[in-house]
Copies of this chain bind each other. A is one copy, B any other.
């Protein structure tokens, strides 16, 4: 016999066994249902692209992390490291085939040679959604509203912290610090991580003590959405298109709940939110779960004004965001709000192997009634209880709630329905009676 190959897996990569994978699928299904209820449509792109497409002008950090190689045809290729760059390439390539404004989502795996010691994975799933080809504040608002609706549909209440990059820059211009915009935005983005003192010191290096104080005043503005908006409007030199846009978003928020407040505090104006990336030019936001804010933002994004600039002369603006699926799952798990994991609700026990066809016919009646029903394949060697107990144990291990023990004539006779959670049996049931019990029991 030849030597065995050790069945190992690459570091940073994961097998998803059923208990985990079912949860992931249930979750992405709910997310997709929400996206599609807003009229968003899915796209998919190749895992592998020309390296020059993915690297863009870049290099640097990206190039170190990317899975880059030469294929059998001598082409330099790479595994996609995010879904944004392929989206930009798709839009540049297929502009004529798309209807604008284009509302798309994309849920797919991406690959990065991350340092796994920081608890990062080298293969993970991203869940992106964008509206492109519209400058309308209604598009900004739709993205914010869809985040709220989607996360509410997962059973979690959220606080979406919104700001406007353009207004921030207007403020910097007003105080004569616009040239330091990138440094300021990056420094402020780390505020929550490093604290106010270190942020002040970092800012003072290029903005001076007085400039640093002004910036801290601006990003520290708080209160209701209106109060905060009034304050940062004033600090940025009075009303502007950017402050008016935030005002309009605020109005939309109130319209949706029909009440005066910003949708029960789902939406908060927070001038300290800047998002570090140069990419964004308008509204930016981060999303926190009210029950577990410390886990960090689980859905961030913003408005950008030139999605596909590397590949096309046409400027295509948009607004988009991404749900961090792994973080979301961890959060739901700690809140005990993960969707239920049982795949099949019920199973038919195998009393006699030769009746397997009849068991499938019986199971078919449950499936028809919308109850997933598996059929156990291995017969009890005898009809005594010991062998049934084995099947009880298997059913419990599989996370099933119900086990049906069929009679001698599986399709004619009534059967026993075992409630595996309550560990008790009901005898003499028909399919209709059992379905009623199953669907009414919590």
Instruction: Report A's interface with B, CB cutoff 8 A.
Output: 2, 4-10, 13-18, 21-22, 24-25, 32, 36-50, 52-53, 56-57, 64, 67, 69-73, 75, 77, 79, 89-90, 92-94, 97-99, 101, 103-104, 109, 111, 113, 122-123, 131, 134, 136-139, 141-142, 145, 149, 248, 251-258, 308, 310-313, 343-344, 347, 350, 353-361, 363-364, 367, 372-375, 377-379, 394, 397-398, 400, 411
Q: Which residue of B lies closest to A411 (CB)?
A: B258
Q: Which of B4, B41, B357, B364 contacts A343 (CB 8 A)?
A: B41
* CA A71 to CA B46, docked complex, whole Å: 19
State the CA gap A57–B5 with chains docked (Å).
Answer: 9
Least Cβ–Cβ distance between A120 and chain B, in angstroms: 14
Complex CA distance for A64 and B71, rounded to whole angstroms: 11
Asked if A43 and B18 make an inter-chain contact with CB atoms under 8 angstroms apart, the answer reads yes
In order of increasing CB-CB distance, the 6 nearest A-B pairs are A39-B374, A255-B357, A252-B357, A39-B344, A69-B69, A138-B356
- Which of chain B's residues have a CB closer than 8 A to the CB of A256? 357, 360-361, 364
Cα distance A111–B39 when bound, in Å?
A: 31
In addition to A15-B45, A18-B104, A46-B123, 6 A-B residue pairs with Cβ atoms within 8 Å of each other are: A9-B89, A38-B367, A42-B343, A47-B111, A103-B374, A252-B357
- Of the candidates B53, B136, B141, the one whose C-beta lies within 8 Å of that of A5 is B53
One complex includes copies of this chain to the number of 2
Interface of A is mostly: mixed
Distance between Cα atoms of A253 and B2 in the complex (Å):
41
Contact A90:B15 (CB < 8 A) given known A99-B394, A255-B360, A375-B142:
yes
Residue pair B15, A372 in contact (C-beta under 8 Å): no
Q: Tell which of B123, B311, B347, B354 touches A39, judged by Cβ atoms closer than 8 Å.
A: B347
Determine whether the beta carbon of B377 is less than 8 Å from that of A134. yes
CA distance A17 to B105 in the complex (A): 11
- Tell whether A14 pairs with B46 under 8 Å between CB atoms, given A39-B347, A136-B353: yes
A311 touches B16 (CB 8 A): no
A20–B166 CA distance with the chains assembled, in angstroms: 37
B49 x A9 contact (CB < 8 A): yes
> Given known contacts A93-B15, A141-B360, A361-B256, is B377 in contact with A5 (CB within 8 Å)?
no
Q: In whole angstroms, how far apart are the Cα atoms of A56 and B139 in the complex? A: 51
22 contacts between A and B (CB under 8 A): A4-B310, A6-B311, A7-B92, A7-B93, A9-B93, A10-B46, A17-B43, A17-B90, A38-B344, A38-B367, A38-B372, A39-B374, A47-B47, A47-B123, A73-B113, A99-B398, A136-B377, A139-B377, A141-B357, A142-B356, A252-B357, A255-B357
Report the separation of the CA atoms of residues A104 and B9 in the bound assembly, to the nearest whole angstrom.
19
Report if A44-B15 is in contact (Cβ < 8 Å); known contacts: A50-B10, A372-B39: yes
Is A113 touching B71 in the complex (CB atoms < 8 A)?
yes
User: In angstroms, how far is the closest chain B Cβ from the Cβ of A86?
Assistant: 8
Query: Measured between C-beta atoms, what is the minimum distance from A428 to chain B in Å?
Result: 22
